Amino acid sequence: MSSIHTTEVTLIPLFERREEVRRILNSKLFANSPKKTRFLEFVCEQTFVGNGDKLNEYQIGVEVYERGVDFNPQRDPIVRVQAHEIRRLLKKYYQEEGKASPICMDLPAGHYVPNFRRNIDQEPAMEEPQPLPAVAHPGRLPWTLAAVFGILCVVLAGLVVLNWNRNTSSRRPATSLPDTLQWFWQPFLSAPEDPLITIPNHPLLRAAHDGDSAQTLAGGHEIPKSSLPEFRDTIHFHELKRFVFVPSLTDFTSVGETLGVVDLCEMFSSVGRKCSVQQSRLVNLDEIKGDNAILLGGNQAWSGRVFLNKEGFQFQSGLIFNRSPHAGEQPIYKPEFDSVTNQLIRDYALVLMLPNETSDKRVLLIYGIYTQGSQAAIEFLTNPARMAELRKTLLDLSPDHETIPPYFQLLLTTTVENSVPGKSSLVALRIIPR
């Protein structure tokens, strides 16, 4: 592989690296070697989710080769032997089947973190723009572009509103603004009532899931997963068996999360704290682990499997599963729709208060099945009266009835009318052991 000219890994998007791994594992050198395939899959996935620094012989021996907790790498060289063989096969792959691959992957000697580099020799030369070819399946490409464009518009609109809120949430009097801003914002700040800010509801296509009604699914438009490699790193790509996109003006728009963030920022600003808001795609697992974090929406590729309490509630593919139902509880909670209008009339949301890597840090996850559920959950958590009720319920469940359990799960439900959430209520509560 030394003959291949390369560039730095930081230039290679994650979905391209995943595609290269898929090509390698489907090659004749790996297709009939399940253990070597599992080895490569494991070290790549751990690297992709930010755990590459934790990869070692012991972990691979236990997870891949099922050696058990008593595995001793000094006595059993299985991992080193297999790693050497995998390096040999990778070299052979890039000399044969992968010779024209745009990306090169290797497993550096003495390490188990894969290295991805661009193969400059295979990068296409710049050409004159050519007319777009005729679309073989009418409607697919425009629908895809509409979906992506709609989502981008909503995200950008939400970020604009959030950024404005962060800069003004302290509600300083008009006289505190510099002259360069005072002339513009004076009419808004001098009036007794707060200005009205609106958030756009762009038309978009969003991925359908098991929580959707049959009528919604019937109006969907399927796009083969293979034609959307850009979505490979999303949790939707892994959970959904098919990509069926359905039109939406009201749900899966992040509007509910955006309004909820405004509530959160107003609450924090009332005690002199600022909000730090970031797009989920720009946050990695290490950043989440290192501080207090609030995760909204549940759409991060790593959020659904790292922090969930397996004995409690689980959010998957638009449904909330109750693994151990108590008396009066359901095993599955699914959104409800009006039988005539097909409008959402009831949504559900999960709230998880969990420990981070250090006991003094917390991770708060707020997941609505639809955006209305997320908004209602945040309103619940920022409402003093509702939180007083929650505190009493937690004390009733605690062993001594005096100490509030620090970690817990809430299952909330809310009515929805005209795509706007109503008052939320507590469905179930689970205490999570320390």
C-alpha–C-alpha distance, residues 191 and 176, integer Å:
16
What does the DSSP 8-state code read for residue 30?
Answer: T
Higher pLDDT: 239 or 198? It is: 239
C-alpha–C-alpha distance, residues 115 and 94, integer Å:
14
Number of Cβ atoms within 10 Å of the Cβ of 228: 19
Distance of CA 44 to the CA centre of its chain: 19
pLDDT at 166 over 70: no
pLDDT at 398 over 60: yes
Cα–Cα separations (whole angstroms), residue 188 to 171, 174, 195, 196, 197? 12, 9, 6, 10, 11
Extents of the domains making up the chain: 6-122, 139-434
Higher pLDDT: 149 or 44? It is: 44
The tokens describing 64, both together, are 């891949």
Pairing of β 319-322 and β 313-316 = antiparallel
**pLDDT value of residue 179:** 80
Query: Of 96-105, 145-154, 345-354, 409-418, which gets the smallest average pLDDT?
Result: 145-154
Q: At what angle do helices 371-381 and 384-397 cross, to 10 degrees?
A: 80
Mean pLDDT in residue range 235-262: 84
C-alpha–C-alpha distance, residues 221 and 246, integer Å:
6
**pLDDT value of residue 198:** 66
**pLDDT value of residue 372:** 93
- Residue position matching structure tokens 């405004």: 262
* DSSP E strands, 182-329: 204-207, 221-222, 244-248, 293-296, 313-316, 319-322
Could you read off the pLDDT of 183-236 as tens digits, one per residue? 777 777 777 777 766 667 778 888 898 889 999 999 899 999 888 888 887 777
Could you read off the pLDDT of 411-426 as tens digits, one per residue? 999 999 988 999 899 9
Q: What is the pTM of this model?
A: 0.58
Pairing of β 332-333 and β 313-316 = unpaired
124 pLDDT tier (thresholds 50, 70, 90) = very low
**pLDDT value of residue 239:** 77
Give the rounded percent of residues in the chain with a pLDDT score beyond 70. Answer: 78
| Farthest-apart Cα atoms in the chain, separation | 77
Within 8 A by CB and 6+ apart from 159, the residues are 277, 279
Could you read off the pLDDT of 304-342 as tens digits, one per residue? 544 456 668 888 888 999 988 999 999 999 999 999 999
- Asked if 337 and 214 count as a contact pair (C-beta separation under 8 A), the reply is no
Our CA angle for 62, 64, 65, nearest 5°, is 70
What is the SS3 string spanning 247-268?
EECCCCCCHHHHHHHHHHHHHH
Query: Of 82-96, 234-248, 316-330, which gets the smallest average pLDDT?
Result: 234-248
C-alpha–C-alpha distance, residues 369 and 373, integer Å:
6
Distance of CA 97 to the CA centre of its chain: 34
**pLDDT value of residue 18:** 86
126 pLDDT tier (thresholds 50, 70, 90) = very low
**pLDDT value of residue 311:** 67
